[in-house]
Structure 1
Amino acid sequence: MLQGELNSNSTLFHLTHLQQLNLAYNDLSASPLSSRIGDLAALTHLNLSNSALGGDIPFKISHLSKLLSLDLSRTDMLDELGYSKLRFDPSTWNKLILNTTNLKELILDEVNMSSIRESSLSLLMNLSSSLVSLSLRDTKLQGNFPIGILGLPNLQELTLSYNQDLKVELPKSNWSTPLRILYLTDTVFSGEIPDSIGHLKSLNQLSLGSCQFDGLVPLSLWNLTQLTELGLAENTLHGEIPSLLSNLKHLTFLDLSANSFNGHIPDVFHNLTKLESLSLDSNSLGGQLPPSLFYLTQLSELSLSANNLEGPIPSNIIELSILKFLYLDHNLLNGTIPDWCFSLSSLTYMDLSSNKFVGPIGKFSTYSMETLSLSDNKLQGSFPNSLFELQNLTYLYLSSTELSGHVDFHQFSKLKSLEFLDLSHSTFLSFHLDNNVDYFLPNLTTLRLSQCKITKFPRFLVSIQDLQELDLSDNQIEGVIPKWFNDKLLYKWKRVDFIDLSFNKLQGDLPIPPNGTYYFSVSNNNFTGGISSTICNASSLNMLILSHNNLTGKVPQCLGSFPSLLVLDLQINNFYGSIPGNFSKKNAFETIKLNGNQLEGPIPQSLAHCTKLEVLDLSDNNIEDVFPRRLEALQQLQVLSLRNNKFHGTIISLSRKTHFQS
């Protein structure tokens, strides 16, 4: 790889007879493209893609009138707004397009073209006899895209994807071009896909995902028999998937996910023998899994999640020999999970969660599995010991099942790659956690053991290097939280963002979350003492739930100034003193529960800054104030409880200004 700036005094610019220049995949240190590039007037091919260029594209690039191919894509250098540092201004663009009359290929992916408008883009019509390939992916284009460009007579490849503010319209008639590739993902459309799409008989790859299309898919689309890739995901298309799908015999990739398709999945996949990836997830599809799906010998990814599919998974499968991703979660599938799901050697990611599967988990005889999710099913039987042989297992979700028996937690130490472990709501399992035995899970970042009948604080947490999420809620853990946990929390675990120790029997001093934590709940325990001022460092909190303990002392004033705090729940404790008086403007508070304490003094004026507040409970305190008319500013308020305090004076109806005697 070449490194360093491309200076104007480079001898490269002396090569005036150079016809092809390719500096792709080098590191030009965000240097601007020298205006001397215009001295290379003989150039027909210029490729500076992936070369870390920056700055404005020089006007003199327009001197390269013999260019047939120009590629300045993907510079990988972004400014503070996420825009490419390589930028086209309108005058340079206009002159370049007017001068390069024989340009066949123009690739500018990720170049900043935010100042180029429709009138400038229309100049591409001057290239009607030459332009074959045009790629403007993620160039921050805005406004309307000239519809005539989609009808250029020689255009074979057009990519406009990921220009979220670019409005595109497909021709509704007389649209017959040699287009082979049409990528328009994440641009702005409206209405239905026009029937004219069926006139593009040469089309191989069509991507119209996230384009705001609605209505039915035109029947003519299913006659594009040369398609190898079809992506219509994340629109609001509806209707049934027709059996005409079988016409697309060359398909390798089909993505109709995140729409509103209904009916049954047509059993026509015996004709789609080249299919490698099929995604129909997040629709309203029902019925059983079509048998022909399981005869696709080239299939590596099958995603049918979040539908209403029912019935069993076929049990006798030998054709899916290279299936790597299997996602059937969030359906109504039932029966037992067939043995091939645990023995298929290629299977790496399997999610069958949130279905109605019953019976035991089979014996694992394949060791390629990296992600396994069987949560939220009615699986019975003992915990599968063969699971501990999955040396590549990284994510394991086994929450909310009916598995039973005894599990020695030390066994999980065999899973050296494990990062995510969720065994929550395993009410029929008994976990043996021996705090006298060293457990070593070096890569674990997330541990969810809610409602697992644990009675001791897990000592093996001390060996975890980078804990990010911990849920030990709703157990029977007793005693004081170990000092090493508090030390790890404040000084070692730099990325911990979720801690839930609620509904246990913990006591002693309150642990304090570090900055970076967004969820912290220790409610329904027996913690005593006050809240340390150290909590003022945890300004990242979204949820702070300390309710139903025996905490005392004053509520730290800093809590009112946390910018992202949505929920502050300190109810049913023994706090005294005043309510924090420094609620900042534009704060995020939605719920404040301070009821059941010994708070006194008036309601602070700054509470009126909590304009997003929906629940405010100050009941059962010693607050002394007149009826707080300033709460009129809280237009989102749905629940207000002030009972059992020392309010006095006149109650004012905030909506009708009607007076009631207190």
Structure 2
Amino acid sequence: MGWVRLSYFLIFQCLLLHFPSYNCLLCNPHDKSALLQFKNSFLTNFSSYVFPSDVFCSSYSSNIKSWNNLTDCCGWDGVTCDIRSGSVIGLNFSCSDLRGELLGPNSSIFSLRHLQQLTLAFNDFSGSSIHSTIGDLANLTHLTLLNFGMTGEIPSTISHLSKLEYLLIGSIDSLLNDPIKSYSRMRLDDYTWNRLIHNATNLREIYLEEVNMSSVGESSLSLLTNLSSSLLSLFLFDTQIQGKLPTHILRLPNLQKIVLSSKENLRVELPNSNWTTPLRVLSLYDIAFSGYIPDSIGHLKSLNSLALWDCNFDGFLPPSLFNLTQLSSLDLSYNKLVGPIPTQITKLSKLWMLDLSGNMLNGPIPHGCYSLPSLWDLDLSQNQLTGSIGEFSTNSLRTLRLSNNKLHGNFPNSVFQLQNLTWLDLSSTGLSGVVDFHQFSKLKTLFYLGLSHNSLLSLKFENNFDCILPNLQYLYLSSSKVSSFPKFIAPNLEVLDLSHNRIRGSIPKWFHENLLRSWKNISSIDLSFNKLQGHIPIPPNGVEIFLVSNNELSGDISLAMCNASTLSILNLAHNNFTGLIPQCLATFPSLWALDLQGNNLYGSIPDNFSKGNSFETLKLNGNLLKGPLPRSLAHCTKLEVLDLENNNIEDIFPYYLETLPNLQVLSLRSNKFHGVITSFGTKLSFPSLKIFDISDNYFTGPLPVSYIHNFQAMMNANDNQTGLKYLGENNLYNDSIVIVMKGLYMELTRILTVFTSIDLSNNMFEGEVPKVIGELHSLIGLNLSHNRITGTIPLSLGNLNNLEWLDLSWNQLKGEIPISLTNLNFLAVLNLSQNQFEGVIPTGQQFNTFGNDSFVGNPMLCGFPLSKSCNELKERPPCSTLDKEESGFGWKVIVVGYACGMIFGIILGCNVFFAGKLQWLARLVEVVLNVRLTRTNKKNLIPMVG
């Protein structure tokens, strides 16, 4: 999406140069004074953000710093004058390093009454808005305001510019993707839009980018018909327009370019017939269409660019599409198109870009795709294409993406003849054979190479000489059966992925040297899931992502790691590292994922987490760390996952974490936490928590009702969510967690956002099961086993409709099992064993699937699936007439009672005297051994039930 938008911005850049500058000696003194005043009102030397000059400002930039009183203003950079009067009629301040207020009320620009063109583009006007005085420039025909940080209302006085022919207003915030700065959008309301379209009847081109137009409705859009004789271009990109675009807008007789994008609720219907307009560009992005692409699109004979990106179209590619012989760009990516790619594709001989990615197309790639004479960009990735890749007979290709298909056959050797190739992605294609990696050195312009996930493809490396790839920036060789470090020279390398391979032994010296000296631009390194040994390579400052998990690396984490303060992801998990965690890691400003799990690290957790840090994931589980926990963890306000399980941390419950607004996963399992859990008065504690695991510790007192009462994220079941969404979705790091699920230890390698569970087992909690648990409607798993919980099962647990496992075993619960539990349709595992339940086991639905193990150890329980049947109560013998006449307990009853009681007491006393002590002692030993064996098994991650 970004590169498409970038291409349009480059077009805009060309449009900025409508008016050339004229050198003349007729400079109006008033205008000259106004321009000098304008210059002095701005701070130059744009230091807050430097725009990428090769993208935005390579073609043109104005230098107002060179303006001075000794030269004629008509010769100044960016100034255009009327050749007869000397009045300033054009100002182009593109890429002028301007920052400050955009056009304030006292700006001298507004005194230039003859101004026809005003261009302010690619500058930093952070937080400033367009002032209403813009309406005073009544002679403006061209207005371009495309900058960073623009905000506020577009004033209604802009409708006073009745001579406007060209209007471009937009923000480049999202295009730059700057994580530091964030400003609210500019807003264009319905009234201003209506007045503008009504007055500016000469408008030929409208470009609005990232302007909030949510209040502009269908009737207001219909006003564009007022411009039917003039409108040539309509560009409304990400403007939040809602409602339906009137179909007749697409039929405007002179409209040549239309670009629409809406991530909200804009609806568009393409005409099904009589669609004959001079459209040359039709680009629709993120529009919620449905059904087929209509055949009427084949009537647009002048069309040279067609993009229907992520528009939810299904069905086959319409045959009429291939009648558009003037097409040079065709983008139908991220739809639901099916069927084969028609062989008629060869009729589109002028194509330079063909993108059909992200559909469900099948069948072979037509041979015509390999010979289109003008083709630069071919993207057929993420489909279900089959067959082999043919040999290319065109030399024009620059981008080739065929990844994530069901192709087979040998690697096409003709690829090495594509001398202009810059991007090659054949990952996950099923290719086979042997490829000499050094042949890629023939592709001197190659900057992206992706060959990951081809299990049948073997890459051959010659270690006696280097493969020289002078322009390579991205190299992806994950899961490619690489058994040794590929030796290559790539001075511009930015991303290296050698993960999931068979590389053994120590990391070679040349790799360390390149890391520290040659690879000046390296930002991401992934060496995870190999068999690497020895010491860890130290990433240089500038690296953002460093992944070496699941290897056999050993030794300490060197303090030299502190030099890599630019890290955002550091994953050293599942190695053999020892020693202390460097304190500096807690101070890295951009580090959001730190994963050190599964090592032998000891000592304390760093206690210097700074305010305003970026931590979202902190995984230190499976080490030898000891406590207490640092209070500075409360500074991690962005934290979503905190996993400290299976260490030796000794502390009370970290109540100060309850204020973290985004914390979703908290695992303190298998440590030495102790004491009573008490909330310290936070109004809404743990509001986002979804996984709460404090099992296998030494907590005492009642269950933490005050916290459970505030588990808001577990109370609202998200039944309407479509598709699978995971916590912290990222291509380079996925959050994971080990939990006891249905009695077994399981690792969730990715955590679904809808997954919720509570595990308070193997502690010393007392009291009753809180009724409030029944309000946690999203709860999937609940484990309260191996505690000292008393009372009955609250009926409210029958409200947990999403519950899949429930473990209340090894407690002192009593009473009958509530029939309401049979309503839990998703309950797959139930363990109520080793309690004091009594009565009949309920039957029906899921309860009919549970075995004997779910209920053993409850002597007073009976019924299926236990072998003990429930005997009907025997009828009492009838009372005598004398008994009926006597009130209360008669003397005979009392005598019999005393006699029976005496005999029972003697027998019971003898039993206790001879056997009671031994049974009591045996039961105590049994309980102690069970608790200790349970803790031992869990420390060693041995799956067990109960």
> When the two structures are superposed, what TM-score results if normalisation uses the length of structure 1?
0.85
Q: Which residue number in structure 1 is paired with residue 97 of structure 2?
A: 78
Alignment check: 8 A CA contact 2:140 2:164 kept: yes
Change beyond 3 A, Cα 1:622–1:89 = same
One-letter amino acid of the counterpart of residue 216, structure 1: K
Q: Which residue number in structure 2 is paired with residue 196 of structure 1?
A: 223
Query: Aligned pair 1:170/2:183, yes or no?
Result: no
* Within-5 A mapping of 1:491-640: 491-640=517-666
Query: Aligned pair 1:134/2:159, yes or no?
Result: no
Alignment check: 8 A CA contact 1:240 1:262 kept: no
**d(CA) in 2 for partners of 1:604 and 1:586?**
16
* Within-5 A mapping of 1:8-157: 12=25, 30-32=65-67, 34=69, 50=78, 70-79=89-98, 90=106, 92-97=108-113, 100=114, 105-110=116-121, 119-124=132-137, 127=138, 131=139, 133-138=141-146, 143-145=152-154, 147=156, 150=159, 154-157=163-166
Change beyond 3 A, Cα 1:73–1:287 = same
Q: CA deviation at 1:406?
A: 2.1
Alignment check: 8 A CA contact 1:508 1:528 kept: yes
One-letter amino acid of the counterpart of residue 228, structure 2: K
**d(CA) in 1 for partners of 2:671 and 2:171?**
57
**d(CA) in 1 for partners of 2:391 and 2:263?**
40
Change beyond 3 A, Cα 1:232–1:327 = same
One-letter amino acid of the counterpart of residue 441, structure 2: S
Alignment check: 8 A CA contact 2:151 2:186 kept: yes
Q: CA deviation at 1:331?
A: 0.9
Change beyond 3 A, Cα 1:224–1:148 = farther
Partner of residue 409 from structure 1, selected from 430, 437, 457: 437
Deviations 1:322-354 (A, max 9, x none): 211111111111111111111111101111100
* Within-5 A mapping of 1:327-346: 327-346=355-374
Q: Which residue number in structure 1 is paired with residue 447 of structure 2?
A: 419
Q: CA deviation at 1:596?
A: 1.6
> What RMSD over aligned residues (CA atoms) do the two structures have, in Å?
3.4
**d(CA) in 1 for partners of 2:194 and 2:28?**
45
Q: Which residue number in structure 2 is paired with residue 250 of structure 1?
A: 278
Q: Which runs of 5+ in 1 are unaligned?
A: 1-9, 41-45, 54-60
**d(CA) in 2 for partners of 1:588 and 1:142?**
26
Q: CA deviation at 1:221?
A: 0.6
Q: Structure 1 or 2: larger helix share?
A: 2
Partner of residue 475 from structure 1, selected from 494, 501, 507: 501
Change beyond 3 A, Cα 1:132–1:274 = farther
Q: Which runs of 5+ in 2 are unaligned?
A: 1-22, 33-58, 173-184, 686-704, 708-763, 767-786, 788-946
Instruction: Give the secondary-structure state (helix, strand or coil) at the position aligned to 1:491.
Output: helix
Q: Which stretch of structure 1 is more off in the superposition, 340-349 or 195-204?
A: 195-204
Q: Which residue number in structure 1 is paired with residue 350 of structure 2?
A: 322
Change beyond 3 A, Cα 1:381–1:73 = same
Instruction: Give the secondary-structure state (helix, strand or coil) at the position aligned to 2:633.
Output: helix
Q: Which residue number in structure 2 is paired with residue 158 of structure 1?
A: 167
Deviations 1:228-269 (A, max 9, x none): 111223454544532268535211111112222332212224
One-letter amino acid of the counterpart of residue 457, structure 2: L
One-letter amino acid of the counterpart of residue 447, structure 2: E
Q: Which stretch of structure 1 is more off in the superposition, 376-385 or 27-36?
A: 27-36
Q: CA deviation at 1:291?
A: 1.8
* Within-5 A mapping of 1:451-462: 451-460=479-488
Q: Which residue number in structure 2 is paired with residue 309 of structure 1?
A: 337
Change beyond 3 A, Cα 1:95–1:340 = same
Alignment check: 8 A CA contact 1:321 1:346 kept: yes
Q: CA deviation at 1:561?
A: 0.7
**d(CA) in 2 for partners of 1:645 and 1:156?**
71
Change beyond 3 A, Cα 1:65–1:192 = farther
One-letter amino acid of the counterpart of residue 186, structure 2: D
Q: CA deviation at 1:588?
A: 1.3
Deviations 1:447-483 (A, max 9, x none): 11111111111122xx221221111111111010001
**d(CA) in 1 for partners of 2:474 and 2:508?**
19
Q: CA deviation at 1:109?
A: 3.3
User: How many positions carry a matched residue from both structures?
Assistant: 618
* Within-5 A mapping of 1:230-309: 230-234=258-262, 236=264, 238-239=266-267, 241-243=269-271, 247-309=275-337
Change beyond 3 A, Cα 1:245–1:514 = farther
**d(CA) in 2 for partners of 1:435 and 1:605?**
51
Instruction: Give the secondary-structure state (helix, strand or coil) at the position aligned to 1:524.
Output: coil
Instruction: Give the secondary-structure state (helix, strand or coil) at the position aligned to 2:613.
Output: coil
Alignment check: 8 A CA contact 2:476 2:497 kept: yes
**d(CA) in 2 for partners of 1:467 and 1:13?**
53
Instruction: Give the secondary-structure state (helix, strand or coil) at the position aligned to 1:109.
Output: strand
Instruction: Give the secondary-structure state (helix, strand or coil) at the position aligned to 1:622.
Output: coil
**d(CA) in 2 for partners of 1:428 and 1:573?**
33
**d(CA) in 1 for partners of 2:61 and 2:609?**
52
Q: Which residue number in structure 1 is paired with residue 394 of structure 2?
A: 366
Change beyond 3 A, Cα 1:615–1:205 = closer
One-letter amino acid of the counterpart of residue 575, structure 2: N
Partner of residue 429 from structure 1, selected from 457, 471, 485: 457
**d(CA) in 2 for partners of 1:550 and 1:613?**
26
Q: Which stretch of structure 1 is more off in the superposition, 360-369 or 196-205?
A: 196-205
Deviations 1:185-217 (A, max 9, x none): 333312434211122122112222222212211
One-letter amino acid of the counterpart of residue 134, structure 2: L
Deviations 1:344-393 (A, max 9, x none): 11101111100111111111001111111000000111111111111111
**d(CA) in 2 for partners of 1:597 and 1:107?**
63
> When the two structures are superposed, what TM-score results if normalisation uses the length of structure 2?
0.60
Q: CA deviation at 1:287?
A: 1.6
Change beyond 3 A, Cα 1:115–1:32 = farther
Q: CA deviation at 1:644?
A: 2.7
Question: Whose relative contact order is higher, 1 or 2, with alpha carbons under 8 Å and at least 6 apart?
Answer: 1
Q: Which stretch of structure 1 is more off in the superposition, 245-254 or 111-120?
A: 111-120
Alignment check: 8 A CA contact 2:194 2:223 kept: yes
Change beyond 3 A, Cα 1:211–1:239 = closer
**d(CA) in 1 for partners of 2:500 and 2:150?**
52
One-letter amino acid of the counterpart of residue 30, structure 1: K
Deviations 1:576-620 (A, max 9, x none): 111111111111112111122111231112112112222222222
Change beyond 3 A, Cα 1:246–1:635 = same
Instruction: Give the secondary-structure state (helix, strand or coil) at the position aligned to 1:247.
Output: coil
**d(CA) in 2 for partners of 1:74 and 1:80?**
12
Change beyond 3 A, Cα 1:271–1:69 = farther
Change beyond 3 A, Cα 1:636–1:605 = same
Q: Which residue number in structure 1 is paired with residue 808 of structure 2?
A: none
Instruction: Give the secondary-structure state (helix, strand or coil) at the position aligned to 2:462.
Output: coil
One-letter amino acid of the counterpart of residue 142, structure 2: L
Alignment check: 8 A CA contact 2:574 2:598 kept: yes
**d(CA) in 2 for partners of 1:388 and 1:36?**
56
Q: Which residue number in structure 2 is paired with residue 4 of structure 1?
A: none
One-letter amino acid of the counterpart of residue 372, structure 1: L
**d(CA) in 2 for partners of 1:150 and 1:245?**
36
**d(CA) in 2 for partners of 1:26 and 1:385?**
44
**d(CA) in 2 for partners of 1:625 and 1:141?**
50
Q: CA deviation at 1:627?
A: 2.5
